[in-house]
Structure 1
Amino acid sequence: MLRCSRCGKTYPETFRLTCDCGGTLLVERNLEAFTPEPFLDVRRYRRYLPVNGEVAPVPAVTPVSGLEINGVKAFFKLDYLQPSGSFKDRGTWVTVSKLLDEGIKEVVLDSSGNAALSFALYGLANGIRVHAFVSYDTSPGKLSLLQGLGAVVHYVDGDRMTVHERAVEFSERRGVTYVSHWFNPYFMEGTKTIAFELYEQLGVPDWVLAPTGSGTLFLGLWKGFSELSAMGEIDRLPRLVAVQASGYESLCERSAVKNTFAEG
């Protein structure tokens, strides 16, 4: 079922993004012992996910690469090896499964690039028409890939929040399902699989640092490790650290100097 993080109201596991009160929703299930299935991709964890049937392509179980930095052993999770090039494929895979369950064949989302690429790829593979709202500032390489994957690209003159507002307006005006990864409980179900993989690959790390824009990766890590704890598999959670690009911070005081590498 879905449970509201604000008021506690519950809903069946249909595709919806928020509670009637405006609160965000989380998928809540009775958790069994942690017993992954013998797959070499994220189907290993499908009994812990709201996934029915087969959706292609299936996100990979990605490797970790170790590096010692100032006497500290660090590991990097290589999710750029996912089919569309980012961790977003995990959330998209679960979301598209739910959309197909409900016969939804046309969606709209806003993105700085990676989420749109992911939904365009999975939409193309599964017969879903994807309207992607992007800023004119989106990198030309990502725009070219979006068009190549058959997405209907809508350009917006404005910042990231303006792009979001235009996508929502389009959704309401045209009656097309909005699938933002920002408020999507099924997207977070996909990103939590990174925590499951890290546990199988490394045990429980002391710290996990996550690049954080809208927070779907960070919250997925929290949910995944929390579920491992609820299943009695681990007795502690790692310290989770949200890392944001300078000049774009939303969780702490904003820096005066903007990071020129950040697109999201």
Structure 2
Amino acid sequence: MKQRSPAFQFFPRQFAGDDEVMSMDLDTVGAHILLICAAAASPECFRIASDEHAIRTRLRNPSDDNWQRIKLQLLRGAWKIDADGKWWMQDGLRRSFEKQRIFSETQQYRANQRYRNVAGTQPEVLPKGSREDAGDAPKSCSSSSSSTSIYMSENLGLYSEAWNELRGSLAAVTRLSAGRKAKLKKRIAEGLTLETFRSVVKTCATTPYLCGGGSEGWRVDFEWLIANDTNVLKVLEGKYRASKPAITAQEYLVDNPYDEPEYQSNATAVQQ
């Protein structure tokens, strides 16, 4: 199982200056912080179940009157209830963890590429669980390069299976042709792990532009994703996500209380 980060980003200056936080009384600010910690520790990293009894228990069981006052202030903007009414959502946390995930995967992909360029060897591409079985492997083989080649050939199908499993409305892969196998082997040699590939396919399947939402109706496919060493990186870095209109720094701060606005490209300076 992949290890979770033990912490989340928190910027005190932005938090203290957020309009939603400043409009809260002291009890509600404390409740907000406790619920942020609970949401960050959840499997999804940004939400908690909308069970009012459980939420009130987390907040040390405020009285009915105090709870209604706190709840009103929390749901005024800092927290949202999803359409099904099942979850309290904290969008600032969701965006923060998504940025951390994308940054981590991009750095891993680049590190694998550097490792391949410097050492001239294959990065780790074994599926999860393979290391536990390594002791059963034969003690000798004809050559390490031929062994790696055979292993890669036998496991290329894991990538096409991952595409078909996570592709959503995108076109399925019906077979791995010789040309596709050659391209996929090259991407793996450059550092494309199965875990990163699965994450990229998920992003493709949920990005409108890559699913035909652009003016030309173009849709990404398996062939395009493995065509070169930059397409995967473009998706990881968010090149095809919908751009937002420019906003003032103050508007960005209200919507993103846990981000550093000066580092965001879509936040413009406040004009006099």
- The TM-score with structure 1 as length reference comes to 0.23
Larger RCO: 1 or 2 (CA < 8 Å, sep 6+): 2
The structure having more radius of gyration, on CA atoms, is 2
Which is richer in helix? 2
Which is richer in strand? 1
- The TM-score with structure 2 as length reference comes to 0.22
